Amino acid sequence: MFDYYLLIGLIYTIIGFFFALLYYFVFKKPIFGRFVGALIVALVGSFFGGVVEYLFSDLIHSLTNFAGVVNIFPPIIVSIIFLQIFSSVGAGKKNRDKEDR
């Protein structure tokens, strides 16, 4: 039973890490906290997506399962949404800081 939850946690962590790398280094989006901030937000978003999938599994049952265990689309979607929101908030903060100078 422990292996089951460990596998799910590992998959969510990999999804969050991948999207933090993608968002910060490939898309080069300005984000508060740089890569560490992106990583934290992506990990929170990934695990929150897993919770959303658990709560609304009937609605999103049509999405495919990864390795027969984990539905990977909710963590991906919520991780991206969290990063976009966090990036927008951080960009607004940077603009306000520049105006104050």
Give me the pLDDT at residue 91, please: 67
With a cut of 60, say whether residue 98 has pLDDT above it.
Answer: no
Between CA 66 and CA 7, with CA 43 as vertex, the angle to 5 degrees is 40
Give me the pLDDT at residue 86, please: 86
The secondary structure of residue 16, as a DSSP letter, is H
**Domain assignments of the chain as residue spans, ordered by start:** 2-96
Of residues 96 and 20, more confidence is placed in 20
Q: What is the pTM of this model?
A: 0.65
Max distance between CA atoms of the chain, in angstroms, equals 56
The secondary structure of residue 70, as a DSSP letter, is B
pLDDT per residue as tens digits for the range 32-84? 888 999 999 899 989 988 888 788 776 666 556 556 667 777 788 888 888 88
